[in-house]
Amino acid sequence: MTTASVVDLMDICGADRPEADRNPVKMAKLAGSLHTVANLEVIRYPFDVTVLGEALGCNIDPGTKARTPSISTHPFKDKPEEIEVPPDLLKRGRIPVVLEASRILRNKEGAKVPLVAGLEGPADLVSYLCGINSFLTWTIKKPQLVKQIVEKCIDACAIYANACLHAGADAIVIADANSSPDMIGPDAFRKLIKPNLIKFSNNIEGYSILHICGETDIIISDMLECGFNAISVEESVKDLDYVVGLAHKNNTAVIGNVSTSRTLYNKNAGDVRKEAFKCLAANIDILAPGCGIAPETPLRNLLALADARNEYYR
């Protein structure tokens, strides 16, 4: 449910980044390989979380085959009150590319497995537009300003997410690293971010998933109250049984949480299997990597995920 294109897949399917981040045919080809080659039963695209930031005016470092695109300018750093959702949002930056890739995938691999379009969440979007230091400082010193900007950002998120759903995506996932308790206090999350995530889930015309990075135990009940169909958590949650128990009481699915950095990137298929078994034993609903996958993660470790699930339920 988080970003998942790896160099091994690019080599096999013949669609390399950064072209696959900007060309809809190549984006669909690389995304499709997540199912046809890596055996994942979902297609998650695009492969980075800067599309909305770029559409709202940030410059992007396009990255390389093994380096994900990143934000290189913060255009509203000195004029945050001027952030507006432009009327032509859906025509800006790479948004038309993602929508076209959705249409292509709908008639191909998307006919067999769910298509999940991902986008940056409100805290990440504010950090892109104004800079991470401004965002973190303002949550303490200028909460009213953050509230105003987050309200604008969440409208942009909803317009883009609904466009993805209309173009063929089955679900959308909001990934918001800077909403994590590792970044802002739980109170700031509750007061400034949560009401807007609720507004988002109320306005979304399809299935929705909320991913927040890091040790999210302390805000799990708040995440569940945001009204998404599923939450996605990292391996750094302290008590997975508690998270799953609470989510199931709330009729919400839990997705995760095999470690991307420690296990999928660094270890072997046997270690992936072991960690996958642990997730399944905790009653997790959808076995998945805990966060975005490093581009140089070996394909054999992705293949080990579906194998482990099949073996566990044999």
> Is 60 a binder of Zn ion (CB under 5 A)?
no
- Residue closer to Zn ion, measured from CB, 54 or 176: 176
Q: Closest separation between CB of residue 215 and Zn ion, Å?
A: 11
> Is 288 a binder of Zn ion (CB under 5 A)?
no
Strands 70-71 and 43-45: unpaired
Q: Closest separation between CB of residue 175 and Zn ion, Å?
A: 6
Spatial distance between the Cα atoms of 67 and 89, rounded to a whole number of angstroms: 26
- Residue closer to Zn ion, measured from CB, 167 or 237: 237
Q: Closest separation between CB of residue 247 and Zn ion, Å?
A: 17
- Residue closer to Zn ion, measured from CB, 134 or 180: 180
> Is 213 a binder of Zn ion (CB under 5 A)?
yes
- Residue closer to Zn ion, measured from CB, 99 or 259: 259
Q: Closest separation between CB of residue 117 and Zn ion, Å?
A: 17
* Backbone torsion region of residue 292, taken as left when φ is above 0, otherwise alpha when ψ lies between -120 and 50, otherwise beta: beta
Q: Closest separation between CB of residue 41 and Zn ion, Å?
A: 20
Calculate the dihedral angle through the C-alpha atoms of 149, 151, 157, 161, rounding to the nearest 10 degrees.
-170
- Beta carbons of 255 and 230 less than 8 angstroms apart: yes
- Residue closer to Zn ion, measured from CB, 15 or 34: 34
The size of the interface with Zn ion (CB under 5 A), counted in residues, is 2
To which H or E segment does residue 254 belong? Answer: strand 253-258
Spatial distance between the Cα atoms of 77 and 125, rounded to a whole number of angstroms: 12
Angle, alpha carbons 272-275-279 (nearest 5°): 130
From 125-133, 205-213, 222-230, 277-285, give the range in contact with Zn ion by CB under 5 A.
Answer: 205-213
> Is 291 a binder of Zn ion (CB under 5 A)?
yes
- Residue closer to Zn ion, measured from CB, 149 or 177: 177
Any long-range contacts for 85-89 (C-beta under 8 Å, 24+ apart)? 85/152, 85/155, 85/156, 85/159, 86/56, 89/55, 89/56, 89/156, 89/159, 89/160
Residues lying near Zn ion in the complex (CB under 5 A) are found at: 213, 291
